[in-house]
Amino acid sequence: MTPGTKTHALLSTARIANVPSVVSNLGVGVFLGSMAGGGAFPWPWLLTLAAILFYVAGNFANDWADRDWDRVHRPERALPQGLFSAKSYLAVTVVFFATGLAICILHGWMAFLVAAVLVFLILLYTKVHKSAAWSVVPMGLCRACLPVLGYVAMGRGISGTVLFPAAALMLYIIGLSLSARWEARGDLPVGQKWQARGLLLGAGLLAAILPLLISPALGWIGLLPFGIWLALCVTKFQSPVPTHVSALLAGIPLVDWVILLPMALSWLHLKRVESTDAMFIAAIILPPVAFVSGRLLQRLAPAT
């Protein structure tokens, strides 16, 4: 898509390439919550829309808050180019947040509560991310809320099960965010590089704990695709920094796959699902489909 057009600008503002990972993050909670409830699998389409609206609203809010900084450092973005007004970005933010919260009410008070926390964290990150080193924490917590939202929407409440994908995503996003801070440079400082790599690897290992507890024989399988892509991120795609960050962003769903691939195979082995069940098929393919989709969408608009 041609840079400089309004359509390209909107897709870039929405960070459209990262939307598939949002669906995958929500999905890991949906699958775990569905299985905890006995295997019923009503995919929450409206909740998926709400999660996407929250993510896109956060990006519009971020660009609105950063418009003065972007005039100097990111002049290719829509607001510095004058393609849209700042008021229109603020309006989109408010409408999308309000619509997402209204949808979450339909999925119960716990889903609404998690969504409200998510919105608060997005706004907190938007407020402090240019001035506070600890802003990587609310950024990580934003992603951590997505599997929790999917889990509670299935009527399961909060349990230790969903905390594994939530904590793993938080670690991964913090590691990714530490790398993204140096996006304007050709390469990461050595200390920052190894700190980020440790967090990224730790995210995969943390995610693997849950499936290993369920099935030691199968629990490690999801680490294979995650490990291969992480190795590519720190070798082939290690520089320049924007290439590295884009590769890491595409790999977010593979954190979900560390859990879902062995868990789905364990459910099949334990005869809790059939190989033809929609839930089994979706759990197996959602993260890799989100990964490939995200990578392809990066060709349309930048992921950062």
Is the predicted pLDDT of residue 2 greater than 70, yes or no? Answer: no
pLDDT at 270: 86
Q: Are the C-beta atoms of 27 and 256 separated by less than 8 Å?
A: yes
> Would the pLDDT of 186 be above 80?
no
Q: 240 and 187 in contact (C-beta within 8 Å)?
A: yes
Cβ neighbours for 180, distance < 8 A, ≥ 6 positions apart: 241, 245, 304
Counting residues of the chain whose pLDDT is more than 90, the rounded percentage is 76
Superfamily of domain 6-297: UbiA prenyltransferase (1.10.357.140)
Q: How many CA atoms lie within 13 A of 8 on its CB side?
A: 13
Domain residues of the chain, as ranges? 6-297
Q: What is the pLDDT of residues 208-240, one digit of tens each?
A: 999 999 999 999 999 999 999 999 999 999 888
- What mean pLDDT value characterizes the chain? 92
Q: How far apart are CA 269 and CA 266, in angstroms?
A: 5
User: Could you tell me the pTM of the whole model?
Assistant: 0.94
| pLDDT, tens only, 237-294 | 988 888 999 999 999 999 999 999 999 999 998 888 889 888 999 999 999 999 999 9
pLDDT of residue 83: 93
What is the enclosing helix (H) or strand (E) of 216?
none
